[in-house]
Structure 1
C-alpha cells in the first residue's frame, strides 16, 4: 500500500487572466499584482516556472522521508529541499506562513487580519487594498502563538488584549484574542510595520508631499532645534515625514528617541533608541525616559508619538531647548492645541508657546493611488498662522501671500537668533541657501535615479551638510 501525504503547505498563486495595473517583485521570490478592482495579489514566483502539482509532489517526497528515514528535525528537511521551494517551507515551519510575504513587502505598512475574512493591507502607494488570502480561526490562533512567543508575551482567553513588538521584523502587533471580550466570535490581529528603507526628503518632494521650499524650511527648523509637531489622522504619513525631517538633523548629533513601538529610523551614530515598557512590576514610562534623556545631555529628544498625559512631560523637554519632534493624532493644528490644553492632557498653555511649528498631513485618493500633502503652520505669540498652504484645485502648495518673509515675520526666530548667536539676516541667507541646495540635489538625484532610491536618508544628510558647509554655513 502506498503512503499518500497531503501537504500542509499553502502556496500563493497568481490567478489566470488577472489584469494588473501595477506589478513588482518582493525579495526576488514573490511577485505582486495590483488589480483595477483594488486587490493586492502576492504570489510565489516559482509557480510561474513549475506547476503546482510538481511542487506538491516535491513536498510529499520530503514529508515521506520524515517517516521512512526517521528525520524529525524540520530544519534538516528544508536543507535538503529543492531551492525552488525552500523559502515556501521556511515560511511555513519557521515563519508566519502566508502572512510572511506581506511582512516582507516594504510597500505594505499595515496588515489587518480578521479570522475567516480576506486580509486587508495598507499600501504606501495605493492605500487600503483587499487580498485573496483568508486565515481560518485555527490558522490565526497559530499565527498569534508564533508572534507572541517570539515577543515573550502570553495571550489567552484570560488575557485576550495585547499589543507588543515582534522582534524579528520590529513590527507592532495588536491582538484581540478569542474570548468573552469578542463574544467568542473570532479574533483580530493588526500588524503595523515600517519600511526597511525610509523615504528621504527628496522622495517626499518627488511624491509632492512637500515642496522644496517646505523641505528647506523644515531643515532650518530642525537644525536650530525649533520644536515640531506633525499632526494628521491615522495612516496619513506622520511617521514617514517625521523620519525624513529627523534625518536632516546635523550628522553626529546626539539624539534620543522615545517610542512605544520602534518606528523611527535615524542615521546618526550617536542615537540612543528607547521604547516604553508596559509592565506591572517594572514599567518604563515616557516620563522616566525623558528624565534619562536630560541626564544624557543629548542634543535632540524625539517622542515618537504623544497620545495622553505624557504630553506634559514632552512639553517640559521642549522648554529645555532639546529640539523635540513628535507626532500627534489630530485633524488640524487647531484641534491639536485644543486637545493639548484641555483634560485629560492639560498641558500648560505657557509651555506651548515654545511649540512653534506644526506640519499638517493631508491624505487623499487620486485615481488608484494614495496621495499626501503637507501644510506648515507657525504658532507665534499665541497665534496660529498658516505658512505654506495647499490648494486642492491646482494641486500646489505655496507660501501664504500674507507672509512677507518666512524668517523675519515671526518673533520666535528672534529667540532662535539670540540662542545661537546668529542674526535674522544670516538666518534668512541660510534659508535661501538651503532652498537652493535642496533643489539642486533633488534635480541631480532625479536625473541619476528616477525612483530616488539613492541617495538614501543617511547619504543625503552628509551630502546636504557638506554643501551647506561649503557655502559658509555651519
Structure 2
C-alpha cells in the first residue's frame, strides 16, 4: 500500500462470490441411436461455434484497474492472504481495494467497484478470469487462444466465452500458477507443460515462443459425478448388448485396450470399466496427469515427471510401467499409451497381470493395434515385427472403439 495511505480502513462490503455452479453434471445426451446401430456419420452436423460479445470496458475502468492491481502487488502480502480462510481473505482483499480506490480518488461506480473487487479476489485466490468458468458444471472444455479469445464447450457445442485476460503476461502468470501447484514449471526454456487442477481437471499449457499469438491454455474439466455404463446406455452412447459385454470383460479380468480420437470419451469409458474391478484387487495406475476416478480401496496412483532446470530427474511413462511390475499389482492401468511403454504393458499383460487396461489414440480398432506395434518400434526395442504382433495378439483380449461424432455427441 502507498506509504501515505490513511490509517483508517473503510467498512468492507459483503464479499462478492463466484457464480453458483449448476446443481449437477449435465452430460451430453445424444439424440441418435447407440453407436453400434449408427449406419453413417456423414449426415451429422458439424459442431457449431457461437460467437459471444465481450463486455465493453471503458478506458477509465481499465486505468483504475491497473492502478489497483499495481498497488495491491506492491503493498499487500499475498502469501499471507492465501493462507487465510477463503471468506476472510476475500473480505481483507475487498477492504484493501476500497482503501486504494478512496485514497487514489478513483472514479468508479459501485458496480465497477464490485467488479474490480471480484477480479482482484479471483486473481489472488484463484485463476483470474477462469474462475467463473471453472465453477460451472456444464462446461466440458475451456480453450484459451491468447489473452482476448476464450472458447468453451457445453453440450457438444463450442462458443466464445465473454471473458478476457488483462494482457498476455497476465495469462502466462495464470499458466505458471496452475503448473507450479503440481510441482511443474513453464517458461521460455520449457514452454509446454501438462498439469492438473486440484479437482482433477486436465490442463495443457503452451507459451511463446512456441505459441505465436500468445499463451494457449486448454482445460479438460473434471466431472464430479462418475459416469457408469448404465448412464451411457440412458444417453444412447452404448447399446445394452455392448454394455453387457463390457461389464463381463472388465469383471472377468480381460485385458482391454480402449481406442479413439481426441475427445471421444476414452478416459470416460476407462473410468466406467474400472467400476467392475473387485475391491480386493491391488490396482496401480500410471498417468501423465492423474484423472482416473477409481473407487476401490487398494489403489496406487503414479504420475510422470518432467525434467528440472538442469535437465535431470525426468520420470517417463515407461519408467512407471516397468516399476509397477515390482509393486505386486493385480492390474495395471495406463491412462494413455503413446510410446515405448506399450511394450512393457504388453509384457505385464502376458505375465500374469490379467485385467490390465489402457487407452490409445486411433481412428479404428485395427489402427489401434497397429499403433501399438509402431510405438514399440519407435522405442528401439530389437524385436522382430512378427514377434511384436504375436505379443499383441496374445495380450489384448478386447478392443473398445470410442468415437466422437461431428455434432459433438
Compute the TM-score of the two structures, normalised by the length of structure 2: 0.68
**8 Å contact 1:160–1:176 — kept in the other structure?**
no
Spell out, residue by residue over 1:100-120, the C-alpha distance to the aligned partner (whole angstroms, 9 max, x if none).
222233333332212244212
**8 Å contact 1:12–1:42 — kept in the other structure?**
no
Q: What residue number does 2:339 align with?
A: 308
What is the CA-CA distance between 1:350 and the residue it aligns to? 1.0
Q: What residue number does 1:337 align with?
A: 369
What is the CA-CA distance between 1:204 and the residue it aligns to? 0.9
Is 1:284 the counterpart of 2:315? The answer is yes
What is the CA-CA distance between 1:361 and the residue it aligns to? 1.1
**8 Å contact 1:155–1:161 — kept in the other structure?**
yes
**8 Å contact 1:254–1:298 — kept in the other structure?**
yes
Query: Quick one: structure 1 residues 134 and 314, their matched pair in 2 at CA, closer, same or farther if it must change by over 3 Å?
Result: same
Aligned partner of residue 154 in structure 1, secondary structure: coil
> In the TM superposition, what are the counterparts of 1:86-235 in structure 2 within 5 Å?
89-123=120-154, 125-135=155-165, 136-157=167-188, 159-179=189-209, 181-182=210-211, 185-235=213-263
Is 1:350 the counterpart of 2:384? The answer is no
> Which of 403, 406, 409 lines up with 1:362 in the alignment?
403
Aligned length: 321
Spell out, residue by residue over 1:323-350, the C-alpha distance to the aligned partner (whole angstroms, 9 max, x if none).
1111100000111122222442668111
Q: Tell me, in whole angstroms, the C-alpha distance in 1 between the residues paired with 2:303 and 2:135.
A: 23
Structure 1: stretches of 5+ with no match in the other structure: 4-10, 14-23, 29-35, 44-51, 372-474
> In the TM superposition, what are the counterparts of 1:367-406 in structure 2 within 5 Å?
370-371=408-409
What is the CA-CA distance between 1:27 and the residue it aligns to? 5.8
Spell out, residue by residue over 1:269-321, the C-alpha distance to the aligned partner (whole angstroms, 9 max, x if none).
10111112222423323333233322322221101111121111111111123
Q: Tell me, in whole angstroms, the C-alpha distance in 2 between the residues paired with 1:166 and 1:95.
A: 14
Q: Tell me, in whole angstroms, the C-alpha distance in 2 between the residues paired with 1:207 and 1:253.
A: 30
- Greater RCO (CA < 8 Å, at least 6 residues apart): 2
What is the CA-CA distance between 1:37 and the residue it aligns to? 6.8
Q: Tell me, in whole angstroms, the C-alpha distance in 1 between the residues paired with 2:48 and 2:17.
A: 19
What is the CA-CA distance between 1:237 and the residue it aligns to? 0.6
Aligned partner of residue 297 in structure 1, secondary structure: coil
**8 Å contact 1:38–1:129 — kept in the other structure?**
yes
Report the RMSD for the aligned CA atoms in angstroms: 3.8
Query: Quick one: structure 1 residues 139 and 12, their matched pair in 2 at CA, closer, same or farther if it must change by over 3 Å?
Result: farther
> Which of 255, 258, 265 lines up with 1:237 in the alignment?
265
Q: What residue number does 2:302 align with?
A: 274
Structure number with higher strand proportion = 1
Q: Tell me, in whole angstroms, the C-alpha distance in 2 between the residues paired with 1:205 and 1:165.
A: 32
**8 Å contact 1:228–1:356 — kept in the other structure?**
yes
Q: Tell me, in whole angstroms, the C-alpha distance in 2 between the residues paired with 1:286 and 1:191.
A: 21
What is the CA-CA distance between 1:254 and the residue it aligns to? 1.4
Q: Tell me, in whole angstroms, the C-alpha distance in 1 between the residues paired with 2:336 and 2:254.
A: 17
Q: Tell me, in whole angstroms, the C-alpha distance in 2 between the residues paired with 1:166 and 1:72.
A: 26
What is the CA-CA distance between 1:174 and the residue it aligns to? 2.4
Compute the TM-score of the two structures, normalised by the length of structure 1: 0.59
Structure 2: stretches of 5+ with no match in the other structure: 1-5, 7-15, 24-46, 82-87, 96-113, 380-384
**8 Å contact 1:160–1:175 — kept in the other structure?**
no
Spell out, residue by residue over 1:107-166, the C-alpha distance to the aligned partner (whole angstroms, 9 max, x if none).
33332212244212233x224332222333233122223223323333333x14221324
